[in-house]
Amino acid sequence: EQFDSLIAAGITFNRNVNTAFEYSNLGYALLGRIISEVSGVRYEDFMKNEIQIPQGMTRSSYFTEYVPEDVRAVGYVKFDAGLIEEPVTSTGAFTPMGGLHSSVRELTSWVAMFQAGKAEAQVPYRHIQSTLAKAQDDIVERIVTASYGYGLFIEDDSELGRFVSHSGGYPGFGSHMRWHHESSWGIIALGNLTYAPMSVIGAKVMNQIVHLHMKENPKKVVIAPRTIEAMKTVESLLEKWDDTLADEWFAVNMDLDQPRNERRAALEKILEGNLNIERVESSVTSSTLSHAKWSVQSGSKSIEIEMLMSPEKNPRIQKLVIK
């Protein structure tokens, strides 16, 4: 009744509609109220019967009294005086924003449900920001684009792929769930401290797990036949320059971007007289059918090559970087 009165009196909007993203606990409280009105039952009962029991989360509960004390974690808050035990929070109008007592074991089934599908919740609807993620151990610097889906955050990592996640902050507790569809790995991190930084810990651990998974299970590189043929042409030009071959394979922009005599001189400087070229097959990567990036061994020297094909019917080399 107090919540209904609060809403009936009117609420203040923080932004103009459809202008920016902002997470709203009040929004989730309103959604919970709608669920109760439409279903005719309490939000907690609806969640138990429609979500928790079907997912096998039978020990999870919004009610503290239903959780045995010997398995219930005590929440704390940190002040200058030290750690202080947080009093138990009762259910209420804002329960839909969080407050479920659960365990890693039971939350695993929740994450597994999203891993198995339910794509509509994991599709980006609202862009939040794009950031440059610093290198982490042997994970290179990369761009991460963050978006919000339908109750879930989505992060598209240019190096590691798509992560889906959500965090929880509650008096005495902090939590984070994160999963990676491509590798099927997921992580659940729970902490019994108000706003415990589980998202920071969870993201770092997941990055390493996914990075190792990708190293052990490399993607199959798919490159167009014409691009593969062009790769062989580039290697032939490295071993023995041939203007006729270059004329046949270079797009019209190539000599405009770099005069051919300068390109040839630059290659000769890189090769240092070593003309025996051997491709490192494990190095081949591609972002599209018309793109290839790989390395070759020339004597004791490793040479990096990146190539992009033109969009014409019979594609030719329109970009070539060798270093």
Per residue in 125-158, pLDDT (tens digit) is 777 888 888 888 778 888 999 998 888 999 999 9
The CATH number given to whatever domain includes residue 298 is 3.10.450
The CATH number given to whatever domain includes residue 10 is 3.40.710.10
pLDDT at residue number 48: 96
| pLDDT above 90 for 322 | yes
Are both 208 and 239 inside the same structural domain? no
Q: Which amino acid is at 289?
A: L
Across 14-18, 31-35, 124-128, least confident range: 124-128
Are both 129 and 271 inside the same structural domain? no
Are both 242 and 294 inside the same structural domain? yes
Are both 207 and 265 inside the same structural domain? no
Kindly report, residue by residue over 173-198, the tens digit of the pLDDT: 999 999 999 999 999 999 999 999 99
Number of domains observed in the structure of the chain: 2
Burial of residue 160 (CB within 10 Å: 0-12, 13-18, 19+) is buried
Are both 193 and 286 inside the same structural domain? no
| pLDDT above 80 for 121 | no
- Do strands 317-322 and 301-309 pair parallel, antiparallel, or not at all (unpaired)? antiparallel
Which long-range contacts link 146-154 to residues 24+ away (Cβ below 8 Å)? Answer: 148/21, 148/23, 148/124, 149/121, 149/122, 149/123, 149/124, 149/125, 150/120, 150/121, 150/122, 150/123, 150/125, 151/121, 152/114, 152/121, 152/122, 153/128, 154/122, 154/123, 154/124
Last residue of a domain, one of 163, 185, 216: 216
Are both 301 and 183 inside the same structural domain? no
pLDDT at residue number 321: 96
Do residues 77 and 83 lie in contact, with contact meaning Cβ atoms separated by under 8 Å? Answer: yes
Are both 239 and 187 inside the same structural domain? no
Are both 139 and 27 inside the same structural domain? yes
pLDDT at residue number 299: 82
How far from the centroid of its chain's Cα atoms is residue 171's Cα? 28
| pLDDT above 80 for 42 | yes
* Host domain of residue 22: 2-216
Are both 272 and 137 inside the same structural domain? no
Across 117-126, 236-245, 285-294, least confident range: 117-126
Give CA separation, 233 vs 92, 184, 227, 242, in Å.
Answer: 69, 39, 10, 10
Last residue of a domain, one of 173, 191, 216: 216
Which residues, 6+ apart, have CB-to-CB distance to 270 below 8 Å? 303, 322, 323
Give exposure, 78-111, as e/b (b: 16+ Cβ within 10 Å). eeeeeeeebeebeeebebbbbbbbbbeebbbebb
Are both 185 and 43 inside the same structural domain? yes
Are both 133 and 248 inside the same structural domain? no
How far from the centroid of its chain's Cα atoms is residue 271's Cα? 39
H/E element holding 201?
helix 198-216
Last residue of a domain, one of 162, 185, 216: 216
d(Cα 113, Cα 121) in Å, to the nearest integer?
11
Residue 106's pLDDT band, with cuts at 50, 70 and 90, is very high
Do residues 252 and 260 lie in contact, with contact meaning Cβ atoms separated by under 8 Å? Answer: no
d(Cα 135, Cα 125) in Å, to the nearest integer?
28
d(Cα 323, Cα 302) in Å, to the nearest integer?
9
Are both 198 and 311 inside the same structural domain? no
| pLDDT above 70 for 119 | no
Name which of 199, 200, 164, 165 is nearest 182 in CA terms.
164
Q: Write the DSSP symbol of residue 269.
A: H
